[in-house]
Structure formats: structure tokens, C-alpha cells
């Protein structure tokens, strides 16, 4: 614990890490329930793996930005604490695996020395804020969205309104109408716009999501002025926190709340929250993400390109001219998103002389390098080729997106990593012309939850299983026709057919061959798919679903030697719901402490929201004693009035609803915060007294 104090300069971060260490110790001593502890560690980026006794650590990198120093720090951390590998994710994070729980506070402290956090990388929180990797250099962008993404990350990190929601909340910033950050699959997705007066603002989309049931977001604002963006997001999150599902995790996303009560009602509720917001307008500091230091203009070493044709392919598929004339962005294709730590060090050494000190992780698990001079491209290519990171075909069918699947994930059903490599090899060896195709995306997930984004793929696969007689074999669900249209419009892929996993290669051949043979000249894959229709592809692929022709090797999954068996663990993607009375009262005490602490620091809005949570968790505790388990916070408030206030078991002035919902009827002033905390304190005392009576009766 002392080492944290000497290594860290930020007292807030230091407190976080010391608190984590204390919670781990209490968990080991049996003082914190297993499920409660799970939610605590998830909110700190610590995720249980498929393998017992070790953890996956998710490192939160806002909009995928990482410097040379930070990447080297993460590589060192992976060597010291994990498996000497860095895994790039579709949400622009880096994950490391096989970490001991007891070492996570020390790991976190070492990361924070280079301004890298684990906080709220998992759990029921605002997850990593993503953005188009080319933001800042995109020739199509109206303006750079990076400062807005950074401001959003900073505003909601540790914000009381989003520390214990019903489930996760995802936000994206696309750099242009090309929508390369997929606004249409996010809880809130935004696209930059300029109005007729050249003022900045955003098109706003609400309520998208993939998962087992993809739903596309609705456009709710065509032009929201830039200073209104963060207050708008806060109001929506407050509505999701209060009205969103909390018991059934499969329905605990904003998209389902919109389905349940309707988009107009969600927007009306958000408008009603505006009075309680910490700020009504939030001016973004446009300089918060400064332009990176450019590489020094020095003599570029001459290199001999061993394979000139491959180099020309790389130039055509991985390189583009930035909006800053004379400089080029270079994409690096990273197979399955894995970079061994030793390779990460060689990578930094290879690229450092030629690029700016700012790398962006891409949504398809690659890397974007910035500010490369034209004369430096051959040397950069040679350096990347020496470490096998110069493959052409970035973001083409030869660049397959995948989640870790059964390699490490509890929810994985079948292997996705090896299948990804197999399909990429197939494209390079049999369909090399497709490396120039920037439209068709192939994406794979190990289960239906779409961490590999199969729900927005032109050609997608997700892990599943099939039964043949008494035996079970690995399979993939085939999906077609998804993807980005542009400017907030997207398409969810349609399920076509389920086939044995070993036949995924045959599926890809059938679809690509059919497209090559039957598509009109310059016809897009979307247009081709729509013209042919879903049933056409079902009939095309139906012979591959014939289980009467199975061979022995089809009962063995890709990358495995043993016969397949389904072994799905308990997923932690969305945290857990805790329904233990004692734990809830413990939480109420803790939240009251946070309320008083925030009040002492003059953070009136934060103190009020903590006090609000004291009311809700305390009321829920008493309701559980009556076996009443409401699935939303508004339900808890209503049921408490019905079960305790109207029956006079608990005496308060007026209704519990009126008492608690003062929160959105008042400005977050010092006077109201003081009064509201006092009322929450009195209510908690009343609840504890009632609880004692119930226990003793």
C-alpha cells in the first residue's frame, strides 16, 4: 500500500487502488459476498477468464489513443503480470490475460504512472468512449472529434450517475459521415456537423446495440450544438439509470428501455432531468488532445524492397493521404488483434523514426500510424515487414475481426481466433483480388453476443453448436447483409443458416464465388444481397448444413485436437445484480459516505446523486425482506410507497416518490444538497431500525 503512495501523484487514483486492495483482502477473508465483489472488480477492469483462478485485465484507452511510452509500459506490464501478449479489442482497448487477482492493485498502480487507467473498463458503467481512429487526420472530417471524445471520457469517469447502472453504456464519435465508429450500434453515437453559420455540432443517434438481438439506433438530433452534447448525454444516462431494467441482464440495455416505453417518453424523461444536471452547457476545450509531436525530418535510410508487388499492394490498401498535406496515415493489420509484448517493443523501435508519437487502435483490431512523410514509406514498410506486420488488405475481407472466443472467454462456444486466421489465409491464397475491396467486412464472434461485431458484418459468423444423434459438434451461425451505409444509417446482418464450424471455409467460398459470378458491374455487396434475397442464400448454403455427411474431424473445433464439448461459464460482460439485504444496507452506508465527502468538496450535484442512491438501495433492502424484487429504480420507489408508506409501516411526510424525486425538481445547489443528504441520512436510519425489528420478530 505504501508503494502506491510513493509511485502515484494523483490522490483520487491512489484512493481507488488502495480501495481495491482493501476490497480484495475483505473478499479473501469472506467479508464481501462473491457476487458483490465481482461487480466491484469489473468496474475496475478486472474480468474473470474461462480458466479458473486468473483474470483478464482490460486497459481503458479513450478513443484508442496510445503513445510509444504507454505501449511499452503495457508490454512491460504484460511480461511482469500476464502472458506477454497484448490483445487489441473492437472497442479500442488493450486486454492482457492470466493475471492473478491479488496482483491487480500493483499492476494498476504501475499503469497509472503513464496515465493509463483500468477504471470502468468493464461492469455496469460507461465503457470506453470510442472514436474513428482517423479523427484528426481524416480528409472527410468537418472537425476533429478527439477533444470531444476525451471530454466525454473525463466527465463520466467516476461520475456518480453511472457507477452502478443496470448494465453497460456505450458512446461513439465518428469523424465524418462515413461513420467509421458505427454510431448506429451505440447507446449514443454522434457524427460531427457544421451548420450554415459554420458552427460545430453533432448528429445524435440513440439506443443502438448488437448482442444477441441487434437493434439499430434512432436519429434523435440532426444538429445538437457542441456545448450541449455532454449535458444531453448525462440526461439520457440518468434516465437509463433510473428506469432501466436491473434484474434481467438480457433486457438491461437502453435499447430495451426504448422498446418498452417508447422513444418519445425516453426523450421526455431526459428533458425532465435537465434541471438537476451539474451543467446546462459544457464548453469543450478543443486543445485537450494536442497534435502529436511530428517525427524529425532527417535523412531516411534507403531500403531495398524484397517484394515490390507486395509493397504496391500495401500502399494501395493500407496507406492514405491525410488532410494535412504531405503526410500519410498508415494502417497496420494485426492478425486476430494479438501483439506479443516482444513484438510490441520491436514495433515501437521500427516505427518511431517515421511517425508521430500517437498511435490509434482501430475498431477492427488494427493500428493507425500518423504523420508519415512520403519519402519515409519504404523504410516504414521494411521495418513493419521485418516483424510480420506489413500485410496488405487492411479492413478488407482479408482482415477478419474476431473476439477471443473459447481461448479465454467464459461465454465462448466455439473457437473464433483460429477460424479468423483460416479465413484470412483463404482470402490471400484464393481471392487475392478481394484485398482491394473496402466494402465487404468479415467478422466472427465466439458466441451470439457480438463482441466480434458479427451483427454488423457483410459476412458474419458466431459460435454455436449442433447435435448429430447423441453427439455435439462445433458450429457457426452464418449471417449476411449487415454493415455501415453512412451518416448514421446501418444494417443488421440477417441470420441465414447454421453449419458445422469446419465448413465455414466452404460458406465463404460459396458466397464470394456467387458474388463474383452474379453481381452486376460495380454492384455493392448490399445491393447484391438485397436483390437476391435472404432465401436465395439459404438455398445456396443449405447443402453445407447436411449432417448426414459429417466426418470425424468435424467434431473437433478449429485449433483443437480434442472432441468438441460445450462448456459455457458465467459471463461477466454486464456485471451482476446483487439481491442481498445486508449487502444493500452496506452499500447504502458507503454511498452516504460518498455523498458527505462530495458535499465537503463542494461537488453539490455528485453529493445529491450519491444521496439519491442511498434512498434507492435502502428501500430495495426492505422490499427484499418482503420478497418484492422490482426490476427498476422507479419500480422500487413505487413499490416502497405501496408496501411501506401507504401501510404506515414507514412514516414519512408525503410519499416516498415525492421525497426521492426531489432530485430532478431542484437545481443542484448547496442548500438542496445539504437538505437532501440530511433526508437520506434520516431515511437510512429509519430503514435500519425497521430491519432490526423484522430480524428480531
- What are the tens digits of pLDDT across the range 269-284? 999 999 999 999 999 9
Tell me the sheet residues that pair with 95: 58, 87
**Domain residue ranges in the chain:** 2-112, 130-276, 308-385, 401-555, 581-696
Q: What are phi and psi of 367, to 5 degrees?
A: -135, 150
Neighbours of 51 (CB within 10 A): 14
Is the Cα dihedral 166, 167, 173, 174 positive or negative?
A: negative
Domain range 130-276, CATH architecture = 2-Layer Sandwich (3.30)
pLDDT, average across residues 470-493: 96
As a whole number, mean pLDDT of residues 222-250 equals 96
pLDDT value, residue 2: 44
What SS3 class is residue 503? helix
Q: Report whether 335 contacts 85 (CB < 8 A).
A: no
Enumerate residues 6+ apart whose C-beta is below 8 A from 352.
68, 295
**Edge-to-edge order in the sheet of strand 359-361:** 65-66, 359-361, 367-373, 327-332, 319-321
Position 595 scores a pLDDT of 97
The model's confidence at residue 44, banded by pLDDT at 50, 70 and 90, is confident
Assigned superfamily of 581-696: Nucleotidyltransferases  domain 2 (1.20.120.330)
Instruction: State pLDDT tens for residues 488-545.
Output: 999 999 999 999 999 999 999 999 999 999 999 999 999 999 999 999 999 999 999 9
pLDDT attached to residue 450:
85
Residue 661 has pLDDT above 90, yes or no: yes
CATH of 401-555, one of 3.30.565.10, 1.10.540.10, 3.30.413.10, 2.60.40.1120: 3.30.413.10
- Residue ranges of the alpha helices (H) in 499-603? 504-518, 525-532, 534-541, 581-600
If phi over 0 gives left and psi between -120 and 50 gives alpha, with beta otherwise, what is residue 127? Answer: beta
CATH architecture assigned to 2-112: Alpha-Beta Complex (3.90)
Say which range, 63-67, 255-259, 585-589, has the weakest mean pLDDT. 585-589
pTM: 0.93
Q: Do the domains 130-276 and 401-555 sit in the same CATH topology, yes or no?
A: yes
Query: From CA 696, how far away is CA 289, in angstroms rounded?
Result: 59
> Do β-strands 55-59 and 130-131 pair in parallel, antiparallel, or remain unpaired?
unpaired
> What value, to the nearest 5°, has the Cα angle with vertex 92 and ends 87 and 94?
30
State the Cα–Cα distance between residues 71 and 347, nearest whole angstrom. Answer: 10
Architecture per CATH, domain 308-385, reads as: 2-Layer Sandwich (3.30)
What's the rounded mean pLDDT across residues 406-434? 89
The stretch 467-487 carries a mean pLDDT of 95
Cα dist from 239 to 186, 266, 634, whole Å: 16, 7, 10
Contact of 183 with 591, CB cutoff 8 Å: no
Dihedral sign, Cα of residue 534, residue 540, residue 544, residue 545: positive
Task: Please report how the helices 377-385 and 308-318 are oriented relative to each other, as an axis angle in degrees rounded to 10.
Answer: 110
Q: Assign 231 a pLDDT band (cuts: 50, 70, 90).
A: very high
- Does the structure show a pLDDT above 90 at 482? yes
Greatest mean pLDDT range, 25-39, 290-304, 418-432: 418-432
Mean pLDDT of the chain: 92
The distance of Cα 422 from the centroid of its chain, to the nearest Å, equals 26
Residue 8 has pLDDT above 80, yes or no: no
Q: pLDDT band at residue 579, thresholds of 50, 70 and 90?
A: very low
Under the banding of pLDDT at 50, 70 and 90, the label for residue 187 is: very high
Amino acid at each position: 500500500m505504501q508503494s502506491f503512495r510513493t509511485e502515484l501523484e494523483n490522490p483520487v487514483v491512489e484512493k481507488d487502488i488502495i480501495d481495491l486492495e482493501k476490497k480484495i483482502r475483505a473478499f479473501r477473508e469472506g467479508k464481501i459476498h462473491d457476487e458483490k465483489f465481482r461487480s466491484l472488480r469489473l468496474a475496475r477492469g478486472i474480468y474473470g477468464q474461462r480458466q479458473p483462478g486468473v483474470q483478464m485485465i482490460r486497459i481503458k484507452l479513450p478513443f484508442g489513443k496510445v503513445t510509444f511510452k504507454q505501449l511499452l509500459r503495457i508490454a512491460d506490464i504484460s511480461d511482469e503480470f500476464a502472458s506477454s501478449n497484448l490483445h487489441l479489442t473492437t472497442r479500442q482497448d488493450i486486454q492482457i490475460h492470466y493475471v492473478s487477482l491479488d496482483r491487480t492493485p500493483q499492476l494498476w498502480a504501475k499503469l497509472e504512472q503513464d496515465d493509463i487507467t483500468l477504471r470502468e473498463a468493464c461492469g455496469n458503467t460507461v465503457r470506453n468512449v470510442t472514436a474513428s481512429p482517423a479523427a484528426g487526420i481524416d480528409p472527410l472530417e468537418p472537425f476533429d472529434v478527439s477533444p470531444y471524445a476525451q471530454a466525454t471520457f473525463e466527465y463520466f469517469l467516476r461520475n456518480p450517475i453511472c457507477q452502478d447502472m443496470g448494465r453497460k453504456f456505450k458512446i461513439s464519435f465518428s469523424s465524418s459521415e462515413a461513420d467509421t465508429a458505427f454510431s448506429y450500434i451505440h447507446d449514443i453515437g454522434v457524427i460531427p456537423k457544421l451548420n450554415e453559420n459554420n458552427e460545430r455540432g453533432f448528429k445524435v443517434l440513440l439506443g443502438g446495440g448488437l448482442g444477441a438481438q441487434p437493434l439499430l439506433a434512432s436519429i434523435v438530433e440532426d444538429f445538437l450544438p457542441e456545448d450541449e452534447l455532454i449535458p444531453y448525454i448525462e440526461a439520457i444516462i440518468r434516465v437509463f439509470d433510473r428506469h432501466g431494467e436491473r434484474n434481467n441482464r438480457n433486457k438491461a440495455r437502453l435499447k430495451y428501455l426504448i422498446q418498452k416505453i417508447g422513444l418519445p417518453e425516453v426523450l421526455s424523461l431526459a428533458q425532465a432531468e435537465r434541471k438537476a444536471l451539474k451543467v446546462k452547457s459544457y464548453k469543450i476545450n478543443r486543445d485537450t488532445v494536442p497534435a502529436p509531436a511530428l517525427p524529425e525530418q532527417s535523412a531516411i535510410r534507403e531500403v531495398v524492397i524484397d517484394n515490390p508487388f507486395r509493397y504496391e499492394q500495401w500502399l494501395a490498401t493500407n496507406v492514405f493521404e491525410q488532410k494535412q498535406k504531405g503526410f500519410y496515415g498508415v494502417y497496420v493489420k494485426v492478425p486476430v488483434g494479438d501483439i506479443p509484448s516482444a513484438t510490441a517493443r520491436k514495433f515501437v523501435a521500427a516505427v518511431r523514426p517515421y511517425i508521430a508519437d500517437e498511435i490509434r487502435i482501430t475498431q477492427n483490431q488494427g493500428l493507425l500510424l500518423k504523420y508519415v512523410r512520403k519519402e519515409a514509406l519504404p523504410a516504414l514498410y521494411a521495418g513493419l515487414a521485418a516483424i510480420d506486420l506489413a500485410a496488405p488488405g487492411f479492413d478488407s475481407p482479408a482482415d477478419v475481426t474476431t473476439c477471443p472466443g473459447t481461448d479465454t472467454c467464459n461465454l465462448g462456444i466455439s473457437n473464433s481466433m483460429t477460424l479468423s486466421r483460416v479465413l484470412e489465409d483463404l482470402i490471400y491464397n484464393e481471392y487475392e483480388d478481394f484485398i482491394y475491396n473496402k466494402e465487404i467486412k468479415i467478422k466472427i464472434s465466439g458466441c451470439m453476443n457480438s463482441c466480434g461485431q458479427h451483427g454488423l458484418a457483410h459476412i458474419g459468423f458466431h459460435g454455436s453448436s449442433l447435435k448429430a444423434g447423441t453427439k455435439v459438434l462445433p458450429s457457426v451461425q452464418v449471417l449476411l447483409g449487415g454493415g455501415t451505409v453512412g451518416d448514421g444509417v446501418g444494417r443488421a446482418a440477417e441470420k441465414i443458416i447454421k453449419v458445422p464450424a469446419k465448413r465455414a471455409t466452404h460458406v465463404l467460398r460459396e458466397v464470394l464465388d456467387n458474388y463474383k459470378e452474379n453481381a452486376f458491374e460495380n454492384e455493392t455487396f448490399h445491393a447484391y444481397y438485397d436483390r437476391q434475397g435472404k432465401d436465395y442464400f439459404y438455398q445456396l448454403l443449405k447443402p453445407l448444413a447436411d449432417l448426414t455427411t459429417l466426418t470425424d474431424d468435424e467434431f473437433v473445433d478449429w485449433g483443437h485436437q480434442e472432441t468438441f464439448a460445450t462448456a459455457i461459464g458465467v459471463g461477466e460482460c454486464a456485471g451482476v445484480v446483487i439481491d442481498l439485504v445486508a449487502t444493500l444496507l452496506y452499500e447504502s452506508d458507503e454511498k452516504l459516505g460518498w455523498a458527505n465527502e462530495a458535499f465537503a468538496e463542494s461537488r453539490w450535484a455528485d453529493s445529491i446523486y450519491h444521496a439519491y442512491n442511498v434512498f434507492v438501495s435502502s428501500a430495495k433492502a426492505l422490499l427484499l425482506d418482503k420478497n418484492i424484487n422490482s426490476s427498476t429504480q422507479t419500480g422500487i420507489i413505487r413499490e416502497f410507497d405501496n408496501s411501506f408508506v401507504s401501510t404506515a409501516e414507514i412514516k414519512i411526510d408525503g410519499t416516498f416518490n415525492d421525497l426521492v424525486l426531489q432530485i430532478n425538481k431542484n437545481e443542484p445547489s448547496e442548500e438542496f444538497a445539504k437538505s437532501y443528504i440530511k433526508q437520506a441520512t434520516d431515511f437510512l436510519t429509519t430503514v435500519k431500525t425497521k430491519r432490526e425489528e423484522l430480524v428480531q420478530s
